[in-house]
Structure 1
Amino acid sequence: MKKNIALIFALIGWFALIAQYYLHIENRTTSLIEANLRFFTYFTILVNFIITLYFTSIVFKKQKSKDEKPGILTALTVYITIVGFIYQVILRGTWQPTGLQRVVDELLHSVMPILTIIFWYLFENKKSVKYSQIPKWALFPILYLVVILARGTFSGFYPYPFVDVSTLGLPKVLINSLFVTIFFFTISVLYIRIGKALKK
């Protein structure tokens, strides 16, 4: 059952990522190299890519192999929850995609978050997830922020308007980042608490 569900979720994830990459390259206004670099500066793309790889790994995992360390799936679920929440609350109204782009947009920002939460609910070893793991989970988004801000100073490109230093200024961007960080820790704690409550 777990592998079958993971296969379906992985196929949806790969379709969304490949289609988004095609659209991104097809509609690029920069060089191919720059377009590729920009594609992988989107947190949405990185998180969906990692989660799709995770689902794929479940499909090809041997039956007798040990389950993954508790907390990995919870961390991924926290990441994709933030992706979905920020898109629905902040970014959805900033553009109106149509056609294939609209389908892909919904898959990456709405469908994949829901599917990941379902997978977390069904298969995470919730009672073994610890609050002490949260700082480790935070390393990825913090490193991501440092990289996109550093790259933005040279390229002038920022993947999201709330981290656009050229428009908002560094102090405002740092304040926005602080709010996202607080939200990250809040969501992480909630998932652990809900997980433990469900196990009880």
Structure 2
Amino acid sequence: MQSPTLHLSPSRRRFVITAAMLGWFGLAVQLYLILWGRWIDHASLVGGLVRFCSFFTVVTNTLVAVALSCALIDRHSAGYRFFRSPVVCAGITTSIILVSLAYNLLLRHLWTPQGWQWIADELLHDVMPLLFLGYWLFLVPKGLLKPRHVLMWMLYPVVYFGYLLLRGNAFGDYLYPFLDIGTLGVAKALTNALGVLAGFLGIGLVVLMIDRVLGRKAQG
């Protein structure tokens, strides 16, 4: 898995630094809000931390922030190489685009966040997807993706959905209303899950196509 060190110009480095800082800031604000809410309700803070780490949005934005941070540090350990890999970055791009599309199409109309919650909401669902898409488009090497990589990326949402269903069955909390088996029933919830997976596959194929086009242009 190729993972070249990125040689960033000063302006591009500032872009990546800003994007990474915004990513970590958005995650920190969301974590604070969840833990503060648990504190006010006299609920377990550990349970709040587990809940925070259970959201697909949070996990994917964490991958985004880590990948951006690794791009800034010239180290060659396995972890840094992994998150600088064009294949991994393309998979994260696919996942964060899914986060934005799923939220804006399926969830945004369900609530109206205010104050700091609005800031975290916009950062994690709109700002970071655009910033990481820009990072992938303009800074990550192209022409290395294969169709099998799209199938490899699908392991991430498949494993996540499996975890979500097990968690929901154990605690009665499915986190996302369109996957709530208790309310929707098994058939409808699984249909929705398959629809999201189909969306992920579609995004992945578009990412693959863009990679090939830009890769040919770079070689030509």
The TM tier, using the shorter chain, reads over 0.9
Q: Superposition RMSD on alpha carbons, in Å?
A: 1.7
Q: 1:102 aligns with which of 118, 121, 128?
A: 118
Q: For 1:167 and 1:51, how far apart are their aligned partners in 2?
A: 32
Q: 2:59 aligns with which of 25, 39, 46?
A: 46
Q: For 1:40 and 1:185, how far apart are their aligned partners in 2?
A: 24
Q: For 1:70 and 1:20, how far apart are their aligned partners in 2?
A: 28
Q: How does 1:1-200 map to 2 (within 5 A)?
A: 1=9, 2-28=12-38, 29=41, 30-62=43-75, 68-199=84-215, 200=217
Q: Structure 2: which 5+ runs fail to align? A: 1-8
Q: Residue type matched to 1:54 in 2?
A: A
Q: For 1:133 and 1:66, how far apart are their aligned partners in 2?
A: 17
Q: For 2:72 and 2:184, how far apart are their aligned partners in 1?
A: 44
Q: Give the percent of matched residue pairs that are identical in Structure 1 and Structure 2.
A: 33
Length, aligned pairs only: 199
Q: For 1:171 and 1:139, how far apart are their aligned partners in 2?
A: 22
Q: Residue type matched to 2:208 in 1?
A: I
Q: Structure 1: which 5+ runs fail to align? A: none
User: Is this contact kept in 2: 1:158–1:164, CA < 8 A?
Assistant: yes
- CA deviation vs aligned residue, 1:38-63 (integer Å, no higher than 9, x gap): 11111000000111011111112249
Superposition TM-score, scaled by structure 1 size:
0.93
